[in-house]
Amino acid sequence: MPRASGRQGSRAGSRHLGIDLGGTKIEGVILDEEHAIVRRVRVPTERERGYDWILGRVAAVVGDLAGDVPDCEVVGIGTPGSLSRRTGTLKNSNTVCLNGQPLAADLEARLGLRVHMENDANCFALAEALLGAGRGHELVFGVILGTGVGGGIVIGGKLWGGPQDIAGEWGHHVLDPAGPACYCGARGCVETMLSGPALEADHVAAGGPPCEAAAVAVRAAAGDAAAAAVLARWLDRFGRALANVINILDPAIVVLGGGLSNLATLYTRGREAVARHVFNDELTTPIVQHTLGDSAGVIGAALLAAAAGRRPRGT
C-alpha cells in the first residue's frame, strides 16, 4: 500500500488531503505527489452525538492536517451515502443522522475549503483501481463487505456514479422481499443479508452464541454444525448477489474490501457460489482481496481532492 513518507524533498504544493467519514471512525490522510502517505489521523466518529458533533469532528481532523498542505483549497471526503443532485443534501446513508443534511455545503462553510464528496465505496473502488488490486483493469467493481454493504464502479480509471449517483449500490438490491427490514425502507436488501451484523444475527438465530462474523467462520471450520450451516447460507447469498452484478456489468475484476473481505472462504467457496449463479458456463472474473488495507477509502478521498484540484472552480 502507499507508504508513509518521511522525505522533506516532496513538492508540498502537490499534497492532497482526504477524509473518510465512517460510522465508527473518521480518518484523514495527506498524500504526496507519488501517492505516499505523509500523515494519517484517526478519531472516533461518535455518531450517536448527532450531526453537529460529526461536523466538528471532521473539521478537527482537517484542521490537524491542513497545516501540512500549503495552499490547500480542496478536501476530498468519502461518506456513507451520496449527495442528492435535486436537493444538495445527503441521502442513503446508514449513519442516518446525516440524511437530509446539506453536508457538503455545511463542511465547506465550516472549513473554508472546497469539498469534493463521494460515496465511501466509490472512494475505495477508485483507490484500488488506480493504486491497488484493480490496477491495469478497464472496469473495476469495488465491493465493501463489513458493517454495511456497498460498491463502486471505475471505468478507465474514472469513477462512474451514474446520473443519479447510485451506480454500484448493490447493497440495496433485494434478495428476499420477505427478508429483514432495511433502514432504506425495503426488506431483504443485500446489506441486511450479507453484512457482518447480518451474519452474526443469523448465527444467534440458529442457536449459536453471540460472536463476531469472523468467529462464525472459525467455528464452522472447527466442525460446529450450526455455524457451518449459517456460513453456507451466507456464502450462497453472496454468490447470488454478486452474480447479479457480474451478469449486468461483466467487470474485468471484482475487488473485495471491508472487514469480511478477510474471510478466506470468500475466495474459494464464495467464488464457487458466484459461479453457480452467474449467467455463463464458466466464471472467469477475478474476485480478489484489496491490497491497500483499511485505508483504501481515505486514499481514494485524497485522490478525489487531487482530481478536483486540477479542475477550475465550479466544474
For residue 24, give the CATH number of its domain.
3.30.420.40
- The answer to whether position 192 is within a domain reads yes
Residue 144 in domain:
yes
State how far the Cα of 254 lies from the Cα of 129, in Å rounded to an integer.
10
pLDDT number for residue 310: 59
* pLDDT(71) > 90: no
Q: Which residue range forms the structural domain that includes residue 68?
A: 12-123+294-309
DSSP one-letter string for 213-224: HHHHHHHHHTT-
List of residues 6+ apart from 123 with CB closer than 8 A? 18, 20, 76, 78, 152, 296, 297, 298, 299, 300, 301, 303, 304
pLDDT value at residue 203:
97
- Count CB-CB contacts under 10 A for residue 235: 23
Together in a domain, 191 and 229: yes
- Alpha carbon 206 to its chain centroid, in Å, reads 29
Q: Are residues 160 and 270 in the same domain?
A: yes
CB 117 within 8 A of CB 103: yes
Three cell numbers, residue 151: 460498491
Q: What is the pLDDT of residue 311?
A: 54
Among 8-17, 73-82, 130-139, 176-185, the minimum mean pLDDT is found in 8-17
Q: pLDDT, tens digit, for every residue of 7-57? A: 333 344 589 999 999 888 999 999 998 899 999 999 999 999 999 999 999
Give the pLDDT of residue 8. Answer: 34
255 and 147 both lie in a single domain:
yes
Taking alpha carbons only, the member of 175, 159, 144 closest to residue 80 is: 144
Question: Is residue 134 a contact partner of residue 287, using CB atoms and an 8 Å limit?
Answer: no
* Domain-embedded: residue 91: yes
Which grid cell sits at 225?
Answer: 454444525
What's the pTM value of the predicted model, to 2 decimals? 0.90
Name residues whose C-beta falls within 8 Å of residue 53's C-beta, 6 or more positions apart in sequence: 46, 47
The whole-angstrom separation of Cα 248 and Cα 239 is: 14
User: Does the pLDDT of residue 6 top 60, yes or no?
Assistant: no
Out of 71-75, 246-250, 260-264, 288-292, which region has the weakest mean confidence (pLDDT)?
71-75
Phi, psi of 82 (to 5 degrees): -150, 165
